[in-house]
Amino acid sequence: MKVVIVGGAGAMGRKLVETVVTFEEVSEVAVLDRDVERLGALAEELGPKVKPVGFDALADDYAAYLRDARVVVSTLGPFTVFGGRVLSAAIEAGCDYLDINDDWEPTLGVLNLDGRARDAGITALVGMGLSPGISNLLAVRAASELDRVDELYTGWDLAGARTEPGGPRPAAATVHLVNECTGKVQVLKDGSAELVRPLERLALMYPGRGEVEVRTIGHPEAVTLPRVFPNLRTCVNVMVAPGWWFDGLEAAMARVDTGELTAHEAAVLVEDGFPRPADAPRSVRMPLVWALAHGERDGKPTRVSAGLERWPDGLMAGGTCVPAAMAVRLMLQGKIARPGVVTPEEVVPFAPLMEALDPLYVHPAMDRPLFDVVADEISD
């Protein structure tokens, strides 16, 4: 079967190509990208399965390249520009689709294409990376331990957000961070979707680890999980980092909101780093990505955590694109198949995906469980 990967020569896409090309179900991986030099190097390194295609995603016609594809995968950002464009092309071609969209606004936008995808009979899975993606599935896993779910938090540790060195500065991921930490973002608050300012300070009790300071950030989980859990009162995505780092980030983001800095300039400041105080306390070490559900079990208030305890090679690209690639494989095997525009929590089977990821998640040690689920009762 043929898989097309749009943006596959980039920092994220390359890792996805490296993984998908190893699947025995795949006969060809067509990589569409405008960087001809990187395309050539990728094809030379990975062998004859990889078919490089010089392609301008804004100007060229997708039809000829997608017509005989089984699945189209997009790693091409920003998804504010390319999310709907590539998905619409996949719908027109009648191809199943998957992307790693991690922006809440274009996520809401492409969900409006659900009817077209259903009519075309294709499965369009959006936001299937680390966060969103694995985070959504951990939220479902944590919630499954409860009889009633009132609050869902999805989170990730800043330590897992590092990109490969040597790329352009600032990295696209850092610019995305700035965009999701400025202006207003959508969350679920008191049972209703609201636009609020990001970087709200929260103190969460994480079972087995104690209190952890987090800050809210705009992300797709907060807008998609309430579709599956309609009785939720709270749903936000948060990040974990030392308090002193958050102080530096908050100051930089305030300068963006006042117009003193552009998002690009602020992203450079973030990558340069913030000074660590000599007396900075040690932070609680958290899983790479995790979810926390509050609700009730057996009539008692209970919180449940589900966290990923291992990760693959490849820093952020590996963390994002290895699960995306394994979800592609499940699509090829017919294990993810529901017409329409869907999100991970709706269609991705947790156990088969974890089984596929297990041998590839090798850090820090294979004797750790891949994920951990812990519950405790909430006392007054």
Looking at the structure, tell me whether residues 121 and 221 fall in a common domain. no
Determine, yes or no, domain membership for 168.
yes
Mean pLDDT in residue range 132-159: 96
Which CA distances in Å does 83 have to 80, 174, 200, 226?
A: 6, 19, 28, 21
CB-CB contact of 118 with 339 (8 Å): yes
Looking at the structure, tell me whether residues 292 and 150 fall in a common domain. yes
Looking at the structure, tell me whether residues 285 and 150 fall in a common domain. yes
Looking at the structure, tell me whether residues 152 and 299 fall in a common domain. yes
Looking at the structure, tell me whether residues 68 and 155 fall in a common domain. no
For residue 222, give the CATH number of its domain: 3.30.360
Model confidence at 357, pLDDT cuts 50, 70, 90, reads: very high
Determine, yes or no, domain membership for 380.
no
What pLDDT, on a 0 to 100 scale, did the predictor assign at position 279?
87
Cα separation, 170 vs 175, whole angstroms: 7
What pLDDT, on a 0 to 100 scale, did the predictor assign at position 13?
94
What pLDDT, on a 0 to 100 scale, did the predictor assign at position 184?
97
Mean pLDDT in residue range 45-71: 94
Mean pLDDT in residue range 72-96: 96
Determine, yes or no, domain membership for 182.
yes
Number of structural domains in the chain: 2
Compute and round to an integer the Cα radius of gyration of the chain. Answer: 20
Residues pairing with 29 in the sheet:
3, 50
Determine, yes or no, domain membership for 199.
yes
The verdict on whether omega for the bond into residue 170 sits within 30 degrees of 0, i.e. cis, is yes
Looking at the structure, tell me whether residues 121 and 139 fall in a common domain. no
What pLDDT, on a 0 to 100 scale, did the predictor assign at position 123?
98
| Across 158-162, 193-197, 265-269, 320-324, least confident range | 158-162
Q: What token pair was written down for 79? A: 């998804």
CB-CB contact of 284 with 206 (8 Å): yes
- How confident is the prediction for the chain on average, in pLDDT? 95
What pLDDT, on a 0 to 100 scale, did the predictor assign at position 373?
97
Q: What's the sign of the alpha-carbon dihedral 359, 363, 366, 370?
A: negative
- pTM over 0.85? The answer is yes
Indicate whether 166 pLDDT > 70. Answer: no
Model confidence at 169, pLDDT cuts 50, 70, 90, reads: confident
Q: Which of 66, 82, 5 is nearest to 321 (CA)?
A: 5
Percentage, residues of the chain above pLDDT 70: 97
Model confidence at 283, pLDDT cuts 50, 70, 90, reads: confident
Instruction: Please spell the DSSP secondary structure of 176-187, one letter per residue.
Output: HHHHHTSS-EEE
